[in-house]
Structure 1
Amino acid sequence: MNVIIGSMATDSRERMVRSAAFLFRERGYSGTGFRDVIAHSGAPRGSIYHHFPGGKVQLATEAVRYAGEFLNSGIEAAVEGGDPGAAVDAFMGWWRTVLIKSEFRAGCPVVAVTVESHDEAPQLADAAAAVFARWQDTLATGLGNAGVPDDRAAGLARLIVAAVEGATILCRAHRDVGPLDEVVAELKKLARSAVEEG
């Protein structure tokens, strides 16, 4: 019986973390409250305070980590083939899907939390920085496996993350995936030319 209760508690906690990440994509950090997370996740009302005694900052930190790991696992799977363009496609494909399915209402939950991080919650910025660094490392590894020299792969990985995140914001503003597609096409050319130069 205790195992079942423990499992239900873990499931409830995970649902709240996933819901927070989902809601941050559309509403931002300040636009998402505990009530919203409870309603979206279907978790029992009192459980959010039990699972997140550190409050909204703790929930947001875990939601950022969850979103980071979720996307990173997709990048890792895609970059194993040795194609430098696959690294770019792996990172942008998720954002393209999110933009279209949400009708351009949703963006990156990590960015949403980053731009709203304040001095009183430096752990949010730290969590976001760790996610961006992880994505960059995974992309750099994929680019390196495809033949891009290590020093160039690191810089190119940072450029991919920055450009795709920026393009996602432009897509939301224009309600069109064109900016993302254009940026990705240019990034893929850069990645392939880096292999040839290497």
Structure 2
Amino acid sequence: MNTERGLPVKLGSFTDASKNWRPHSPPFLAKVNVDAAWKKGSSNRGMGIIIRGQSGESIVGASLLSSHNSVVEVEAEVVVRGLQLAAHAKLSLIVVEGDCLEVMDALINHSSDCNWRISLMIRKSRKLVACFSLVEWNWVPREANRMANAAEKLAMARLSSSDWVGRPPTSLVHVLRSDGLTGPPLF
């Protein structure tokens, strides 16, 4: 376990061969999955965040728009936004998972020589760690990050930002269920 400014930061890695989303293990209370998309030649840049509890239930999430100039910048910003959302929800023991290897590697390895395009957002993420008792960073394959991926696609399709507490948009419930977890009831 490393420490960041005296705060515990656990470094994790993805080892599940099934490549599906999996619940976090104790002592963590929530898992923050983040994903982003950037379309070259377009102003569409979407970010998706889903925070789930120990049994996989949706706690809070967001489909957001961004204005960065590269996909790696949007991927780094969504980590900052995910940490902010988790702090706002008053969560203290979290796992942050993303499928952008460059961003997660910079966070996991405390790289001081990361891509200049993301260095400011990596510093912001490191400062936000102070809001939590314990943070674990995990890189995951895209298949294990389907809900965050669907949320960022929703932002790009709607061209607007939205967030939710407890109940994701109906269009995303099928993704929760495809992870083998129960989703909220459909009305």
TM-score (structure 2 length as normaliser) = 0.31
Larger Rg: 1
TM-score (structure 1 length as normaliser) = 0.30
Higher relative contact order (CA 8 A, sep 6+): 2
Between Structure 1 and Structure 2, the one with more strand by share is 2
Between Structure 1 and Structure 2, the one with more helix by share is 1
